[in-house]
Amino acid sequence: MKRLLYIGIFISMVTGATAQRAAVQRAAEFLQQAQYDSARHYIELAVGHEETAGWPLVQYYRGFIFKGLYTQNESQDPFSTSRGEAISSFMLFLQKDTTGKYDDSAIKSLNYLGTTLFNDAARAMDRTDPDVAIECYDEYKVVINYINPQKDFREQDIRFNLVLGTTYSDLYEQDREAREAFFQKSVAAYEKVLEIDPNHESANYNLAILYYNEGVHLIRNLPPDAPLTKLITTEEKTVELFRTSCPFMIRAYLKNPCKKETLIGIAGIFWGLNEYEFSDSVMEGLKLLKENEANGTSCDPAVQTKLKHHEVISSYFSTHYENN
């Protein structure tokens, strides 16, 4: 921070003290004293005047002033305007500055501000506010990508979209009729993960569960005296959902043949599709898995893949989905 003051004094010495230059000087002094409101007043005077508006160091100061305002007053606000202003100023500074002398501290500040955006995204997700989380996460990526264009976001995107998908599906399940849009948003989030890693176990499993449970819900919620026409159209929708769920559930199984829930899901899908023999075979596999678990034998994926149910599942997958 001391360096900022020195820069300010330097400006004053080499340029002479016009009113605008004095404004920059005053801004630097207030910044040094952490009096950010006053500092902002003077820096905005400098930004508004043609003589100083184009100075890279004005944006540099401005970045620190708004960063100070953010940390002082708005650190709990995911929509903090001060943070946005700070980011813009640091970016402008990096665009304009040709000396490279202060790039490190500007980049460090942008990194800090970007990380706060990431934290806000996580906190927003934690309090089940996915739309805010998306906004913060996207902004985080813009900032980090600016300072590191080579940054690979794929792992982070996977984690973020997995949590996002689960958050949307939780919201959807709380009130399916009123929150229909959340179903599609959840699907879209899981699909983003699968675009990056088509065999991602959790994304495949979660997406399969979303479709499968939706199908079950449609039938479960039918009144016991539903007219036949309603029953027939509902069953058609349900079967379509089960068919959509099936390849995702099988991919999750192939990735981890030892997960009981996946076998329960496959058996349920087969049953719902009226493929009784396949369903029974998968239930046999599940029974064996549970028995082994009860005996203290840990599941070996290599052994699982030699059992009958694995053959049934693999063959169903290759017949129905492998070339699609």
Residues that bind another protein (CB under 8 A): 112, 115-116, 118-119, 122-123, 125-126, 159, 162-163, 165-167, 169-170, 173, 202, 205-206, 209-210, 212-213, 215-217, 219-220, 222, 224-228, 231-232, 235-236, 238-239, 242-243, 261, 264-265, 268, 271-276
Encoded tokens for 74: 């708005």
- Closer to another protein by Cβ: residue 85 or 214: 214
Least distance to another protein, CB of residue 216, Å: 4
Least distance to another protein, CB of residue 228, Å: 5
Q: Please name which of 145, 193, 144 lies closest in space to residue 168, comparing C-alpha atoms.
A: 193
- Closer to another protein by Cβ: residue 52 or 161: 161
Q: Which residue has the tokens 């099936």?
A: 246
Least distance to another protein, CB of residue 15, Å: 37
Least distance to another protein, CB of residue 314, Å: 20
Least distance to another protein, CB of residue 215, Å: 7
- Closer to another protein by Cβ: residue 55 or 140: 140
Sign of CA dihedral 181, 176, 121, 159: negative
Least distance to another protein, CB of residue 245, Å: 9
- Closer to another protein by Cβ: residue 59 or 238: 238
Query: Coil, helix or strand for 144?
Result: helix
Least distance to another protein, CB of residue 247, Å: 14
Question: What is the C-alpha to C-alpha distance for residues 253 and 265, in angstroms, rounded to an integer?
Answer: 10
Query: Residue 244: CB partners within 8 Å, gap ≥ 6?
Result: 211
CB 227 within 8 A of CB 254: no
Q: Please name which of 97, 67, 60, 64 lies closest in space to residue 82, comparing C-alpha atoms.
A: 67
Q: At what angle do helices 228-255 and 308-320 cross, to 10 degrees?
A: 110
- Closer to another protein by Cβ: residue 110 or 162: 162
- Closer to another protein by Cβ: residue 8 or 165: 165
Least distance to another protein, CB of residue 57, Å: 26
Question: What is the C-alpha to C-alpha distance for residues 248 and 201, in angstroms, rounded to an integer?
Answer: 9
Question: What is the C-alpha to C-alpha distance for residues 218 and 209, in angstroms, rounded to an integer?
Answer: 14
Question: What is the C-alpha to C-alpha distance for residues 142 and 3, in angstroms, rounded to an integer?
Answer: 28
Q: Which residue has the tokens 């569960």?
A: 209
| DSSP structural state of residue 298 | P
CA dist 215 to 117, 178, 211, 242, 278, Å? Answer: 37, 17, 6, 6, 19
